[in-house]
Amino acid sequence: MSIQSRKERERAQREKLIITAALELAEAEGWEAVTTRRLAERIEYSQPVLYSHFKGKDAIVAAVAVEGCADLAVELRAARTAAPDATSALARISAAYVAFADRRPALYDAIFNQTVDLPFATPEAPAALHAAFDELAAAVGPHANGADLGLLTETFWAALHGLVTLMRGGRLPREHHDTRLALLLERFTGTPAGPGRTL
């Protein structure tokens, strides 16, 4: 009994180790630097060990993504609940979203750009992802104006994702990013928004 469970515990621990090592490596040098060989070296095991835990490299990235969703959800929640009113709630949660993508690009990539395997807009999607989405929905809700909340949230999310992605890919200059975000908020809240709109 106990010895069996110890082994399981150690195994689970090693799996966690793989995930955190992959994330660290990705955050330090980008996902293109995360190879199975380097990952194996980092966890001080041989390459094939990875495949006894995960079906392939993609599955490792997916595992990192699932973990990352939780972080994202937490940060979005904090931003939203700290806001005094509905309009600034959307502004703050948006800023938090962008800041997350900016501060943890590797994690953001894992969730939204890298892999495709994990289910998304279905009930089987990771709970943390739903949580993150719900935070966004809660912030969008007051500005729905009768529109379908789910779809409107998806649309707003897509807009944020587009801004983040194009900026990170060098398609949009970082300059005036705040203004673009403010413009987006204006369009979704109907109000001429507050800060960062001076240009």
Partner DNA sequence: CTCCGAGTGCTAGCGCTGCTAGGAACAAGA
Partner DNA sequence: TCTTGTTCCTAGCAGCGCTAGCACTCGGAG
Cα separations in angstroms, 128 against 2, 133, 161, 182, 183 = 32, 9, 18, 27, 29
State yes or no: residue 30 binds its own copies (CB under 8 A): no
Q: Which of residues 22-61 bind DNA (CB under 7 A)?
A: 34-38, 45-49, 51-52, 56-58
Site string for its own copies, 133-162 (x = CB under 8 A): --------------xx--xx-xx-xxxxxx
| Token representation of residue 27 | 């955050």
Site string for DNA, 57-96 (x = CB under 7 A): xx--------------------------------------
Q: Which residues contact 58 (CB under 8 A, 6 or more apart)?
A: 115, 117
DSSP 8-state class, residue 146:
T
116 binds DNA (CB under 7 A): no
Question: Residue 30 region, left (φ>0) first, then alpha (ψ -120 to 50), else beta?
Answer: left
Interaction partner, residue 15 (its own copies, DNA, none; CB < 5-8 Å by kind)? none
Question: Does the footprint of its own copies cover residue 173 (CB under 8 A)?
Answer: yes
What whole-number distance in Å separates Cα of residue 172 and Cα of residue 179? 12
* 142 interface partner picked from its own copies, DNA, none, CB below 5 to 8 A per type: none
- Report the alpha-carbon distance of residue 157 to residue 143 in Å, rounded: 14
With CB under 8 A as the contact rule, which of the stretches 8-16, 51-59, 73-81, 169-177 interacts with its own copies? 169-177
Position 183 contacts its own copies (CB under 8 A): yes
> Angle 177-189/86-103 helices, nearest 10 degrees?
140
Rg (CA), the chain: 19
For the chain, give the number of residues.
199
Task: Check binding of 113 to its own copies (CB under 8 A).
Answer: yes
Q: List residues near DNA by CB under 7 A.
A: 3-4, 7, 34-38, 45-49, 51-52, 56-58
Q: List residues near its own copies by CB under 8 A.
A: 112-113, 116, 120-122, 147-148, 151-152, 154-155, 157-163, 165-166, 169-173, 176, 179-180, 183-184, 186-188, 199
